[in-house]
Chain A
Amino acid sequence: MDITAYIASGILELYVAGALSDQENREVYRLMQQHPEIQKEVEQIEAAIKKLTAAAAPNTTADLFEPIKTRVQNQSANRESIPKVISIVKPKYNWITYTGWAAAFIIGAGLLWTLNQTNNLKSNLTTAEIENAYLEEQIANAKTDLAASKNLLNILRDKDIISVPLGGQGEFANTYAKVYWNKKDNSIYLDAQGLPEAPAGKVYQVWSLKLNPLTPTSLGTIDNFNSDDNKIFAIANANESEAFGITLEPEGGSETPTMDQLYTLGVVVAAAP
Protein backbone atom coordinates (compact mmCIF):
# COMPACT_ATOMS: atom_id res chain seq x y z
CA MET A 1 0.00 0.00 0.00
CA ASP A 2 1.00 3.60 -0.47
CA ILE A 3 2.15 4.58 3.02
CA THR A 4 2.71 8.21 2.12
CA ALA A 5 -0.79 8.61 0.71
CA TYR A 6 -2.21 6.85 3.75
CA ILE A 7 -0.44 9.23 6.06
CA ALA A 8 -1.42 12.22 3.93
CA SER A 9 -5.09 11.24 4.08
CA GLY A 10 -5.37 12.71 7.58
CA ILE A 11 -6.69 9.53 9.15
CA LEU A 12 -3.89 9.41 11.70
CA GLU A 13 -4.80 12.87 13.03
CA LEU A 14 -8.34 11.61 13.53
CA TYR A 15 -6.94 8.47 15.15
CA VAL A 16 -5.18 10.52 17.81
CA ALA A 17 -8.27 12.66 18.26
CA GLY A 18 -10.32 9.51 18.98
CA ALA A 19 -12.67 10.39 16.12
CA LEU A 20 -12.55 7.01 14.36
CA SER A 21 -14.73 3.96 14.72
CA ASP A 22 -13.54 0.89 16.66
CA GLN A 23 -12.91 -0.94 13.43
CA GLU A 24 -10.86 1.94 11.99
CA ASN A 25 -8.90 2.13 15.22
CA ARG A 26 -7.95 -1.53 14.97
CA GLU A 27 -6.97 -1.08 11.35
CA VAL A 28 -4.67 1.85 12.17
CA TYR A 29 -3.16 -0.08 15.07
CA ARG A 30 -2.44 -3.03 12.77
CA LEU A 31 -0.77 -0.80 10.17
CA MET A 32 1.24 0.92 12.90
CA GLN A 33 2.66 -2.45 13.92
CA GLN A 34 3.59 -3.18 10.30
CA HIS A 35 4.92 0.22 9.23
CA PRO A 36 7.27 2.16 11.52
CA GLU A 37 6.64 5.33 9.45
CA ILE A 38 3.00 5.25 10.47
CA GLN A 39 3.91 4.58 14.09
CA LYS A 40 6.30 7.53 14.04
CA GLU A 41 3.73 9.81 12.40
CA VAL A 42 1.13 8.95 15.05
CA GLU A 43 3.59 9.65 17.84
CA GLN A 44 4.42 13.05 16.39
CA ILE A 45 0.79 14.01 15.95
CA GLU A 46 0.14 12.92 19.51
CA ALA A 47 3.09 14.92 20.81
CA ALA A 48 1.87 18.06 19.03
CA ILE A 49 -1.67 17.73 20.33
CA LYS A 50 -0.35 16.99 23.77
CA LYS A 51 1.56 20.26 23.75
CA LEU A 52 -1.33 22.22 22.37
CA THR A 53 -3.79 20.93 24.93
CA ALA A 54 -1.31 21.36 27.75
CA ALA A 55 -0.96 24.97 26.72
CA ALA A 56 -4.63 25.45 27.55
CA ALA A 57 -4.14 24.29 31.12
CA PRO A 58 -4.31 26.96 33.83
CA ASN A 59 -1.16 27.72 35.73
CA THR A 60 -0.96 25.93 38.99
CA THR A 61 1.79 25.56 41.51
CA ALA A 62 -0.11 23.03 43.59
CA ASP A 63 0.96 19.42 43.49
CA LEU A 64 -2.22 17.88 42.14
CA PHE A 65 -0.92 14.31 42.03
CA GLU A 66 -0.42 13.98 45.79
CA PRO A 67 -4.18 13.99 46.52
CA ILE A 68 -4.72 11.49 43.71
CA LYS A 69 -2.02 9.21 45.09
CA THR A 70 -3.51 9.45 48.58
CA ARG A 71 -6.99 8.62 47.31
CA VAL A 72 -5.76 5.73 45.21
CA GLN A 73 -3.68 4.32 48.04
CA ASN A 74 -6.57 4.69 50.49
CA GLN A 75 -8.73 2.82 48.07
CA SER A 76 -6.37 -0.11 47.86
CA ALA A 77 -5.67 0.09 51.60
CA ASN A 78 -9.38 -0.09 52.22
CA ARG A 79 -9.61 -3.00 49.89
CA GLU A 80 -6.80 -4.81 51.70
CA SER A 81 -7.97 -3.85 55.17
CA ILE A 82 -11.36 -5.42 54.67
CA PRO A 83 -11.19 -8.14 57.29
CA LYS A 84 -11.34 -11.58 55.93
CA VAL A 85 -14.69 -13.02 56.68
CA ILE A 86 -14.19 -16.32 58.35
CA SER A 87 -17.31 -18.29 58.23
CA ILE A 88 -18.51 -19.32 61.66
CA VAL A 89 -20.82 -21.76 60.07
CA LYS A 90 -19.21 -25.07 60.67
CA PRO A 91 -18.90 -27.52 57.85
CA LYS A 92 -22.29 -28.94 57.30
CA TYR A 93 -21.23 -32.54 57.58
CA ASN A 94 -18.65 -33.48 60.19
CA TRP A 95 -17.83 -36.87 61.65
CA ILE A 96 -20.47 -36.50 64.37
CA THR A 97 -23.13 -36.18 61.73
CA TYR A 98 -21.92 -39.24 59.88
CA THR A 99 -21.54 -41.25 63.10
CA GLY A 100 -24.98 -40.14 64.19
CA TRP A 101 -26.56 -41.26 60.97
CA ALA A 102 -24.66 -44.54 61.08
CA ALA A 103 -25.82 -45.17 64.65
CA ALA A 104 -29.38 -44.30 63.76
CA PHE A 105 -29.23 -46.67 60.82
CA ILE A 106 -27.81 -49.51 62.91
CA ILE A 107 -30.42 -48.99 65.65
CA GLY A 108 -33.15 -48.84 63.04
CA ALA A 109 -31.93 -52.02 61.40
CA GLY A 110 -31.66 -53.67 64.84
CA LEU A 111 -35.22 -52.69 65.67
CA LEU A 112 -36.48 -54.09 62.40
CA TRP A 113 -34.58 -57.33 63.00
CA THR A 114 -35.98 -57.57 66.53
CA LEU A 115 -39.47 -56.88 65.28
CA ASN A 116 -39.06 -59.59 62.66
CA GLN A 117 -37.79 -62.02 65.30
CA THR A 118 -40.75 -61.18 67.53
CA ASN A 119 -43.17 -61.81 64.70
CA ASN A 120 -41.49 -65.14 63.95
CA LEU A 121 -41.67 -66.15 67.59
CA LYS A 122 -45.30 -65.10 67.80
CA SER A 123 -46.04 -67.15 64.72
CA ASN A 124 -44.16 -70.12 66.17
CA LEU A 125 -46.00 -69.69 69.43
CA THR A 126 -49.35 -69.66 67.65
CA THR A 127 -48.38 -72.82 65.79
CA ALA A 128 -47.30 -74.39 69.06
CA GLU A 129 -50.53 -73.35 70.72
CA ILE A 130 -52.53 -74.87 67.88
CA GLU A 131 -50.50 -78.05 68.12
CA ASN A 132 -50.96 -77.97 71.83
CA ALA A 133 -54.70 -77.60 71.55
CA TYR A 134 -54.75 -80.42 69.02
CA LEU A 135 -52.73 -82.63 71.32
CA GLU A 136 -55.00 -81.74 74.23
CA GLU A 137 -57.94 -82.72 72.09
CA GLN A 138 -56.20 -85.96 71.22
CA ILE A 139 -55.59 -86.60 74.88
CA ALA A 140 -59.17 -85.75 75.71
CA ASN A 141 -60.33 -88.06 72.93
CA ALA A 142 -58.03 -90.77 74.19
CA LYS A 143 -59.38 -90.28 77.69
CA THR A 144 -62.92 -90.47 76.38
CA ASP A 145 -62.01 -93.56 74.39
CA LEU A 146 -60.37 -95.06 77.43
CA ALA A 147 -63.38 -94.32 79.55
CA ALA A 148 -65.64 -95.82 76.90
CA SER A 149 -63.39 -98.85 76.64
CA LYS A 150 -63.35 -99.26 80.42
CA ASN A 151 -67.08 -98.92 80.47
CA LEU A 152 -67.37 -101.50 77.71
CA LEU A 153 -64.97 -103.79 79.54
CA ASN A 154 -66.98 -103.42 82.71
CA ILE A 155 -70.14 -104.28 80.84
CA LEU A 156 -68.57 -107.30 79.26
CA ARG A 157 -67.18 -108.43 82.61
CA ASP A 158 -70.56 -108.15 84.25
CA LYS A 159 -71.51 -111.50 85.75
CA ASP A 160 -74.99 -111.27 84.36
CA ILE A 161 -73.77 -110.98 80.79
CA ILE A 162 -74.48 -113.83 78.40
CA SER A 163 -72.08 -114.13 75.52
CA VAL A 164 -73.53 -115.42 72.27
CA PRO A 165 -71.14 -115.98 69.33
CA LEU A 166 -72.78 -115.68 65.94
CA GLY A 167 -71.16 -117.79 63.23
CA GLY A 168 -70.96 -117.07 59.51
CA GLN A 169 -73.70 -118.71 57.45
CA GLY A 170 -73.54 -120.14 53.93
CA GLU A 171 -71.54 -118.02 51.58
CA PHE A 172 -70.80 -115.63 54.51
CA ALA A 173 -68.97 -118.35 56.48
CA ASN A 174 -65.97 -116.12 57.03
CA THR A 175 -68.02 -113.53 58.85
CA TYR A 176 -68.80 -113.47 62.51
CA ALA A 177 -70.26 -111.42 65.31
CA LYS A 178 -70.88 -111.64 69.04
CA VAL A 179 -73.80 -110.65 71.18
CA TYR A 180 -73.42 -109.84 74.87
CA TRP A 181 -76.85 -109.99 76.43
CA ASN A 182 -77.62 -108.40 79.77
CA LYS A 183 -80.95 -109.86 80.63
CA LYS A 184 -81.26 -107.63 83.71
CA ASP A 185 -81.40 -104.36 81.90
CA ASN A 186 -82.86 -105.88 78.69
CA SER A 187 -80.07 -104.80 76.44
CA ILE A 188 -77.62 -106.49 74.15
CA TYR A 189 -74.23 -105.33 72.98
CA LEU A 190 -73.53 -106.47 69.49
CA ASP A 191 -69.90 -106.76 68.51
CA ALA A 192 -70.07 -106.75 64.72
CA GLN A 193 -66.36 -106.47 64.06
CA GLY A 194 -66.47 -109.56 61.86
CA LEU A 195 -68.96 -108.17 59.36
CA PRO A 196 -67.92 -106.46 56.12
CA GLU A 197 -69.05 -102.94 55.44
CA ALA A 198 -72.66 -102.73 54.34
CA PRO A 199 -73.04 -102.04 50.59
CA ALA A 200 -74.68 -98.82 49.55
CA GLY A 201 -78.46 -98.93 49.96
CA LYS A 202 -78.27 -101.85 52.37
CA VAL A 203 -78.25 -102.08 56.14
CA TYR A 204 -77.68 -104.84 58.61
CA GLN A 205 -80.74 -105.83 60.52
CA VAL A 206 -80.55 -107.64 63.88
CA TRP A 207 -83.07 -110.31 64.72
CA SER A 208 -84.11 -111.97 67.91
CA LEU A 209 -85.32 -115.49 67.23
CA LYS A 210 -87.56 -117.96 68.93
CA LEU A 211 -86.70 -121.42 67.71
CA ASN A 212 -89.92 -123.35 68.17
CA PRO A 213 -91.62 -122.23 66.10
CA LEU A 214 -89.00 -120.13 64.37
CA THR A 215 -90.16 -116.59 64.99
CA PRO A 216 -87.91 -113.67 64.13
CA THR A 217 -88.40 -110.40 65.93
CA SER A 218 -86.57 -107.38 64.55
CA LEU A 219 -84.30 -105.61 67.03
CA GLY A 220 -83.72 -102.87 64.48
CA THR A 221 -81.32 -101.93 61.76
CA ILE A 222 -77.74 -100.76 62.34
CA ASP A 223 -77.85 -97.57 60.27
CA ASN A 224 -74.49 -96.24 61.43
CA PHE A 225 -72.57 -99.47 60.89
CA ASN A 226 -70.05 -98.16 58.38
CA SER A 227 -69.25 -95.02 60.34
CA ASP A 228 -68.90 -96.64 63.72
CA ASP A 229 -65.37 -97.08 64.97
CA ASN A 230 -65.52 -100.05 67.35
CA LYS A 231 -68.50 -101.72 65.70
CA ILE A 232 -70.09 -102.34 69.09
CA PHE A 233 -73.72 -101.42 69.19
CA ALA A 234 -76.00 -101.22 72.22
CA ILE A 235 -79.49 -102.47 71.36
CA ALA A 236 -82.55 -102.81 73.58
CA ASN A 237 -83.88 -106.33 73.74
CA ALA A 238 -86.78 -107.28 76.03
CA ASN A 239 -87.43 -110.57 74.24
CA GLU A 240 -86.84 -114.02 75.57
CA SER A 241 -84.45 -114.60 72.76
CA GLU A 242 -83.24 -118.09 71.93
CA ALA A 243 -81.01 -117.05 69.09
CA PHE A 244 -79.72 -113.93 67.34
CA GLY A 245 -79.24 -113.39 63.63
CA ILE A 246 -78.03 -110.66 61.37
CA THR A 247 -79.24 -110.22 57.82
CA LEU A 248 -78.50 -107.66 55.15
CA GLU A 249 -81.65 -105.84 54.22
CA PRO A 250 -82.67 -102.92 52.03
CA GLU A 251 -82.38 -99.52 53.75
CA GLY A 252 -85.11 -99.07 56.31
CA GLY A 253 -85.12 -102.78 57.14
CA SER A 254 -87.62 -105.55 56.40
CA GLU A 255 -90.58 -107.10 58.19
CA THR A 256 -89.06 -110.52 57.95
CA PRO A 257 -85.44 -111.49 57.49
CA THR A 258 -84.23 -112.18 53.95
CA MET A 259 -82.84 -115.60 54.58
CA ASP A 260 -80.45 -115.76 51.67
CA GLN A 261 -78.85 -112.65 53.14
CA LEU A 262 -78.39 -114.19 56.59
CA TYR A 263 -74.78 -113.43 57.49
CA THR A 264 -74.42 -114.72 60.99
CA LEU A 265 -76.49 -116.70 63.39
CA GLY A 266 -75.92 -117.88 66.91
CA VAL A 267 -78.01 -119.74 69.45
CA VAL A 268 -78.19 -118.64 73.07
CA VAL A 269 -76.72 -121.27 75.33
CA ALA A 270 -78.83 -121.25 78.40
CA ALA A 271 -76.90 -119.58 81.07
CA ALA A 272 -76.66 -120.86 84.46
CA PRO A 273 -79.52 -119.43 86.48
Chain B
Amino acid sequence: MQQLELLITKFQQKDVKAFEELYNMYSKSMHGVIYNIVRDHDIAEELMQDVFIKAWNNAASYSAEKGRFFTWILNIARNAAIDKTRSKAFKNSKKNLGAEYFVDILAHGDSLDDQTDAIGIKKFVSQLAKKCIEVIELLYFKGYTQKEASETLDMPIGTIKTRNRNCINELRTIVLQ
Protein backbone atom coordinates (compact mmCIF):
# COMPACT_ATOMS: atom_id res chain seq x y z
CA MET B 1 0.00 0.00 0.00
CA GLN B 2 2.95 2.29 -0.55
CA GLN B 3 1.00 3.49 -3.55
CA LEU B 4 -1.68 4.83 -1.24
CA GLU B 5 0.87 6.66 0.86
CA LEU B 6 2.30 8.30 -2.24
CA LEU B 7 -1.18 9.26 -3.33
CA ILE B 8 -1.91 10.83 0.04
CA THR B 9 1.37 12.75 0.00
CA LYS B 10 0.58 14.14 -3.44
CA PHE B 11 -2.91 15.00 -2.25
CA GLN B 12 -1.43 16.87 0.67
CA GLN B 13 0.71 18.76 -1.84
CA LYS B 14 -2.53 19.89 -3.52
CA ASP B 15 -2.28 17.53 -6.48
CA VAL B 16 -5.80 17.50 -7.98
CA LYS B 17 -5.14 14.24 -9.83
CA ALA B 18 -4.28 12.48 -6.59
CA PHE B 19 -7.32 14.08 -5.02
CA GLU B 20 -9.51 12.65 -7.75
CA GLU B 21 -8.05 9.16 -7.27
CA LEU B 22 -8.72 9.29 -3.55
CA TYR B 23 -12.17 10.57 -4.27
CA ASN B 24 -12.81 7.62 -6.56
CA MET B 25 -11.57 5.28 -3.85
CA TYR B 26 -13.60 6.65 -0.94
CA SER B 27 -16.46 8.86 -2.16
CA LYS B 28 -18.97 6.03 -2.44
CA SER B 29 -18.27 4.87 1.12
CA MET B 30 -18.62 8.39 2.43
CA HIS B 31 -21.75 8.90 0.45
CA GLY B 32 -23.14 5.71 2.01
CA VAL B 33 -22.23 6.73 5.54
CA ILE B 34 -23.66 10.22 5.09
CA TYR B 35 -26.80 9.01 3.42
CA ASN B 36 -27.36 6.51 6.22
CA ILE B 37 -27.35 9.37 8.67
CA VAL B 38 -29.30 12.07 6.80
CA ARG B 39 -31.53 9.82 4.63
CA ASP B 40 -31.89 12.51 1.98
CA HIS B 41 -30.39 12.15 -1.48
CA ASP B 42 -29.74 15.83 -2.20
CA ILE B 43 -28.43 16.61 1.24
CA ALA B 44 -26.22 13.53 1.16
CA GLU B 45 -24.71 14.51 -2.20
CA GLU B 46 -24.10 18.04 -1.05
CA LEU B 47 -22.55 16.90 2.23
CA MET B 48 -20.36 14.33 0.51
CA GLN B 49 -18.95 17.04 -1.73
CA ASP B 50 -18.45 19.33 1.26
CA VAL B 51 -16.58 16.54 3.05
CA PHE B 52 -14.08 16.14 0.23
CA ILE B 53 -13.54 19.87 -0.06
CA LYS B 54 -13.00 19.98 3.68
CA ALA B 55 -10.51 17.14 3.36
CA TRP B 56 -8.70 19.02 0.61
CA ASN B 57 -8.52 22.19 2.65
CA ASN B 58 -7.36 20.38 5.80
CA ALA B 59 -5.12 17.86 4.05
CA ALA B 60 -2.08 19.05 5.93
CA SER B 61 -3.63 18.05 9.25
CA TYR B 62 -3.71 14.38 8.29
CA SER B 63 -0.90 12.17 9.55
CA ALA B 64 -0.62 8.39 9.13
CA GLU B 65 0.42 8.04 12.78
CA LYS B 66 -3.00 9.20 13.91
CA GLY B 67 -4.87 6.60 11.84
CA ARG B 68 -5.93 5.35 8.44
CA PHE B 69 -6.70 7.89 5.75
CA PHE B 70 -9.99 6.06 5.27
CA THR B 71 -10.74 6.51 8.96
CA TRP B 72 -9.76 10.19 8.83
CA ILE B 73 -12.11 11.03 6.01
CA LEU B 74 -14.77 8.73 7.51
CA ASN B 75 -14.62 10.89 10.64
CA ILE B 76 -15.06 14.07 8.62
CA ALA B 77 -18.06 12.55 6.85
CA ARG B 78 -19.77 11.28 9.98
CA ASN B 79 -19.23 14.58 11.80
CA ALA B 80 -20.54 16.60 8.87
CA ALA B 81 -23.62 14.43 8.60
CA ILE B 82 -24.32 14.43 12.33
CA ASP B 83 -23.85 18.21 12.46
CA LYS B 84 -26.36 18.49 9.66
CA THR B 85 -28.97 16.44 11.51
CA ARG B 86 -28.56 18.75 14.48
CA SER B 87 -29.27 21.90 12.44
CA LYS B 88 -32.65 23.47 13.05
CA ALA B 89 -33.66 23.48 9.39
CA PHE B 90 -32.89 19.76 9.13
CA LYS B 91 -34.81 18.90 12.30
CA ASN B 92 -37.87 20.74 11.01
CA SER B 93 -37.94 18.86 7.73
CA LYS B 94 -37.12 15.40 9.02
CA LYS B 95 -38.76 13.21 11.61
CA ASN B 96 -38.13 10.02 13.49
CA LEU B 97 -34.55 9.44 12.38
CA GLY B 98 -32.26 7.12 14.29
CA ALA B 99 -34.43 4.07 14.53
CA GLU B 100 -33.23 2.93 11.15
CA TYR B 101 -30.08 0.98 10.43
CA PHE B 102 -27.90 0.82 7.38
CA VAL B 103 -29.34 -2.59 6.64
CA ASP B 104 -32.64 -0.95 5.67
CA ILE B 105 -30.91 0.75 2.79
CA LEU B 106 -29.22 -2.45 1.73
CA ALA B 107 -32.43 -4.42 2.05
CA HIS B 108 -34.31 -2.03 -0.19
CA GLY B 109 -31.64 -2.70 -2.71
CA ASP B 110 -32.08 0.46 -4.73
CA SER B 111 -28.49 1.42 -4.02
CA LEU B 112 -26.79 -1.77 -4.99
CA ASP B 113 -25.60 -0.97 -8.45
CA ASP B 114 -22.21 -2.53 -7.90
CA GLN B 115 -22.61 -5.85 -9.71
CA THR B 116 -19.70 -7.58 -8.04
CA ASP B 117 -20.84 -6.94 -4.51
CA ALA B 118 -24.57 -6.67 -4.84
CA ILE B 119 -25.35 -10.31 -4.32
CA GLY B 120 -22.78 -10.78 -1.58
CA ILE B 121 -23.87 -7.78 0.43
CA LYS B 122 -27.52 -8.68 0.19
CA LYS B 123 -26.67 -12.14 1.30
CA PHE B 124 -24.57 -10.80 4.13
CA VAL B 125 -27.29 -8.50 5.28
CA SER B 126 -29.87 -11.16 5.25
CA GLN B 127 -27.64 -13.47 7.24
CA LEU B 128 -26.39 -10.85 9.64
CA ALA B 129 -27.59 -11.22 13.14
CA LYS B 130 -29.11 -8.21 14.83
CA LYS B 131 -26.21 -8.06 17.26
CA CYS B 132 -23.85 -7.53 14.31
CA ILE B 133 -26.07 -4.95 12.69
CA GLU B 134 -26.19 -2.87 15.88
CA VAL B 135 -22.50 -2.93 16.58
CA ILE B 136 -21.47 -2.21 12.97
CA GLU B 137 -24.01 0.59 12.77
CA LEU B 138 -22.66 2.29 15.87
CA LEU B 139 -18.95 1.81 15.31
CA TYR B 140 -18.69 2.41 11.56
CA PHE B 141 -21.72 4.33 10.44
CA LYS B 142 -22.21 6.50 13.51
CA GLY B 143 -18.65 6.84 14.78
CA TYR B 144 -19.20 5.75 18.38
CA THR B 145 -16.14 5.11 20.52
CA GLN B 146 -15.86 1.63 22.04
CA LYS B 147 -16.92 3.08 25.38
CA GLU B 148 -19.95 4.81 23.89
CA ALA B 149 -20.91 1.65 22.05
CA SER B 150 -20.44 -0.35 25.24
CA GLU B 151 -22.80 1.98 27.09
CA THR B 152 -25.38 2.16 24.34
CA LEU B 153 -25.54 -1.59 23.84
CA ASP B 154 -25.12 -2.25 27.55
CA MET B 155 -22.30 -4.73 27.19
CA PRO B 156 -18.67 -4.78 28.30
CA ILE B 157 -16.01 -3.28 26.03
CA GLY B 158 -14.36 -6.71 25.70
CA THR B 159 -17.61 -8.20 24.40
CA ILE B 160 -18.03 -5.31 21.94
CA LYS B 161 -14.53 -5.95 20.65
CA THR B 162 -14.88 -9.68 20.12
CA ARG B 163 -18.41 -9.45 18.75
CA ASN B 164 -17.39 -6.77 16.30
CA ARG B 165 -14.37 -8.82 15.33
CA ASN B 166 -16.57 -11.81 14.55
CA CYS B 167 -19.06 -9.72 12.61
CA ILE B 168 -16.35 -8.12 10.48
CA ASN B 169 -14.85 -11.54 9.87
CA GLU B 170 -18.17 -12.65 8.49
CA LEU B 171 -18.35 -9.56 6.33
CA ARG B 172 -14.89 -10.21 5.00
CA THR B 173 -15.63 -13.72 3.95
CA ILE B 174 -18.58 -12.42 1.96
CA VAL B 175 -17.21 -9.28 0.33
CA LEU B 176 -13.51 -10.09 -0.03
CA GLN B 177 -13.28 -13.09 -2.21
Contact = CB atoms under 8 A, between A and B. Distances in A.
Contacts of B160: 10
Interface in A2-47: 8-11, 13-20, 22, 25-26, 29, 39, 42-47
Nearest to A17: B139
Contacts, number: 174
Contacts of B8: none
B164 interface: yes
A76 interface: yes
B3 to A, nearest CB: 12
Nearest to B139: A17
B144 A55 contact: no
Given A13-B168, A65-B23, A55 B75 contact: no
A68 interface: yes
Interface string B11-52: 000101001100111111111110110000100110011001
Main secondary structure of the interface of A (DSSP, over half): helix
Contacts of A64: 27, 31, 45, 48-49
B146 A58 contact: no
Contact size class for A? Answer: 35 or more
Contact of A65 (B27, B66, B110, B112): B27
B159 to A, nearest CB: 10
Contact of B164 (A14, A51, A69, A75): A14
Contacts of B57: 75
Interface of A: 8-11, 13-20, 22, 25-26, 29, 39, 42-60, 62, 64-65, 67-69, 71-73, 75-76
Interface in B147-172: 149, 160-165, 168, 171-172
B168 A48 contact: yes
A57 B31 contact: yes
Contacts of A75: 57
B31 to A, nearest CB: 4
A55 B32 contact: yes
Contact of B68 (A22, A42, A53, A68): A42
Interface of B: 1, 14, 16, 19-20, 23-33, 35-36, 41, 44-45, 48-49, 52-53, 56-57, 64-68, 70-72, 74-75, 102, 105-106, 110-114, 117-118, 121, 124, 136, 139-141, 143-146, 149, 160-165, 168, 171-172, 175-176
Contact of B165 (A13, A47, A72): A13
B14 A76 contact: yes
Report, nearest first, the 10 A-B pairs whose CB atoms are least far apart.
Answer: A56-B32, A10-B165, A10-B161, A57-B32, A57-B31, A54-B28, A53-B29, A17-B139, A53-B32, A18-B71
A68 B44 contact: no
A48 B75 contact: no
B49 A50 contact: no
Contact of A8 (B106, B164, B165): B165
